[in-house]
Amino acid sequence: MANSIRNLPEFIENEILYENALKLRRKSLSSFSLLGPPDLCYLTKDFQRSLNISFNKASSFGFYHYNYGLCPSSPAAVSAYITKLLKDQEIENNWFSNGKWMISKACYCMFDIFTRTDIYLEIMFPGGMRLYGIMINEEITQIDEKSWETGYISSVLRAMQPEKLPMIKLYREFLRFLFYKCCDIRFLFFFLYK
């Protein structure tokens, strides 16, 4: 199926439910557990038809998946992850294909457990980026470097205790983080063989 990304299971939202996962996440901010939900990566994909006729406008669909342990240490690290997803977007190679899928926008969300703020990084293609936070009362706030660091620490803490949810991409980069940051190797072995 050419609308998918190689080796990545995704939820699909059609045009009617477009960005419904993001809206539900915003509404349920106050009910998040102590560590919060996993990081959410929401991709907007447009289907461009092969025939370039004016009434054939692109159809936008939402695709999303959850991440644990991605290590979003900076907005640049998240941008690199999104770029990897762009490269892994599958292309239909059959001769009777009637169009192609293009990622036009990406939104990466991570919950900061210290300030109870959901941090959003939106990347638009071919260019543009927006970084902001949404507080529990659904008020939009600015995100600075300190806010990003606490969101990153929250993401690492969540990766140590992942919930069992469908469609989760689990990364083990946080183990590398622990290996370099922990002085006591016995703690690392206890964590690995628990």
pLDDT tens digits, one per residue of 41-73: 999 888 776 665 555 566 788 888 888 878 788
DSSP letter for 38, please. P
* pLDDT(185) > 50: no
pTM as predicted: 0.76
Highest-confidence segment of 14-18, 71-75, 150-154, 183-187:
150-154
Give the pLDDT band of residue 163 (cuts 50, 70, 90): low
Q: What is the mean pLDDT of residues 8-35?
A: 82
Mean pLDDT of the chain: 77
CA-based angle 168:171:175, to the nearest 5?
140
In the chain, how many H helices and how many E strands?
5, 8
Torsion angles phi and psi, residue 28, rounded to 5 = -100, 15
- What is the number of other CB atoms lying within 10 angstroms of the CB of residue 177? 16
pLDDT higher at 11 or 167: 11
* pLDDT(178) > 60: no
User: Measuring CA to CA, which residue among 60, 184, 40, 183 is closest to residue 108?
Assistant: 40
CA-based angle 116:121:126, to the nearest 5?
170
What confidence score (pLDDT) does residue 181 get? Answer: 47
What confidence score (pLDDT) does residue 186 get? Answer: 40
Contact 168, 66 (CB under 8 A): yes
What confidence score (pLDDT) does residue 78 get? Answer: 92
User: What's the rounded Cα separation, in Å, for the pair 15 and 70?
Assistant: 29
Contact 100, 52 (CB under 8 A): no
Q: What is the mean pLDDT of residues 117-141?
A: 91
The pLDDT tens digits of the residues spanning 83-109 come to 888 888 766 555 555 667 788 899 999
3-state DSSP call for residue 7? coil
- H or E segment to which residue 120 belongs: strand 117-124
User: What's the rounded Cα separation, in Å, for the pair 180 and 159?
Assistant: 16
User: What's the rounded Cα separation, in Å, for the pair 88 and 2?
Assistant: 11
What confidence score (pLDDT) does residue 31 get? Answer: 84
* pLDDT(192) > 50: no
CA-based angle 58:59:61, to the nearest 5?
135
* pLDDT(174) > 70: no
User: What's the rounded Cα separation, in Å, for the pair 65 and 109?
Assistant: 11
